[in-house]
Chains A and B, each alone.
Chain A
């Protein structure tokens, strides 16, 4: 077979020769990704079927035991403990995303309405927490919710908590921490869309006596959907695997799947079970991305 000649960048060459060259460019980085990303991922799948030895070592005896355990089956009968944690992680991620969206719209409208100079300043103010270390931001809530400060005092005065106790660990503190962690992840991509918003469509809807809700769902939402989609994915997926916030602000009572995984690789030294939970989280991530894709297509059709 004669090699097919093609013109590439104004030069006569063969596809084969070009791809050989291209392969040299890809090789180093792709070899890296294979060795430290793809292979470890596959090993994780295999290990999720393996067995934990008596001293925490891996034993290559394969079974579905880890997944059964995750579903709640054990020697002592059935419990929903692990399933509750998985479900809770999905709920927390969902509500965190929802609150972040609700808070982001007014913020974006506000920033978009500033003049050019102060718009830049406000945006930088949103970007700074976006880039501030997660541990520090969680730690900051740890401080603000301390018993000596007004928030915990007010809560104590209202009888919500015992006086002298901090406002954590509990579900409320987890939500506060999660929303403040992920809010900029929604605001920044959403702003890119809000800035380009065609307000004449919004005014047209208002002139035609559309209710406020219809103005939002039919004139604003479809136009800002591209930015919103990026924000939702940037928030929902990492929120599901989050472990710093629930660890510091939720404690043992409000565990999320991230803490459960960390426990298996830390104190419990049960890698196979940890791998199985990671697989469950992976599946949850994929399923929610898929559902989300369908939904956002439906919204586009309204």
Chain B
């Protein structure tokens, strides 16, 4: 262990304080009994209990969950198959490059551009079918579009890491395609697939911009709800909701760390 200069240590601690001060502030005021204003009036868990009476919040939580689960499942399947397809076949460099560029578009462009493109695309698709009215389906499609790229990139790095030798050995021992995929590729790839799926899931929970542009009146998610609520002024209930989401994030982060470290 090396020692750090006191200036560096204090700068580092100040920076951590800067990151956590606002989050702790929200947590503290979420257990404050005062109905209005920011004066300490004693401890209460009342605002948390009231969350479960609020029809709007329950509905938003449900939408958030459905959106994340459905989009993650579809994106994980599509992204994994895509990664295998890109990595395990003798594509010409030109084809590989092209696939690579498409895969990186959602990663490098500002998400507001993807959101704008989707709004226009759905607007035109609406002329063909009423399925594309703003709402949950559009949001799911939008989320899958950026999730596929992240899943494929994570799974592909796992494919590179495990190498081809084991598959070659299996082939030499006359494994069929189906056997190879089920009993060899998938178990070896599993840590990569799980990591990719968890990344996709968190990205979906985290997303605001794509949802904001594609949501309809019936498909509020929790981030959209909070964003709308801030404009009406901060309330203890929103503090409680935000704190609850932060706690869920902490649990997810720690769980992901545990899983990927073992993998």
**Which residues of A are at the interface with B, using a C-beta cutoff of 8 A?**
6, 8-11, 15, 18-19, 21-26, 28-30, 32-33, 36-41, 43-44, 47, 58, 103-104, 106-107, 109-115, 122, 124-129, 131-137, 139-144, 146, 148-149, 179-180, 183-184, 199, 233, 237-238, 240-244, 248, 258, 261-262, 265, 271, 274-275, 278, 281-282, 285, 289
Contact = CB atoms under 8 A, between A and B. Distances in A.
B57 interface: no
A134 B254 contact: no
A282 B3 CA distance: 45
A133 B212 CA distance: 14
A135 B1 contact: no
B83 to A, nearest CB: 9
A109 B4 contact: yes
Given A143-B234, A265-B119, A126 B19 contact: yes
Interface string B1-32: 11110011101110110111111011001000
A30 B99 contact: yes
Contact of A133 (B11, B79, B208): B208
Nearest to B169: A10
Contact of B145 (A37, A180, A262): A37
10 contacts: A9-B168, A11-B171, A40-B121, A107-B16, A140-B22, A149-B25, A237-B109, A265-B116, A271-B119, A282-B113
Contacts, number: 255
Contacts of A133: 205-206, 208, 222-223, 245, 249
Interface residues of B, number: 92
A240 B23 contact: no
B110 interface: yes
A136 B12 contact: no
Contacts of A44: 113, 116-117, 120
Nearest to A289: B108
B144 interface: yes
A142 B234 contact: yes
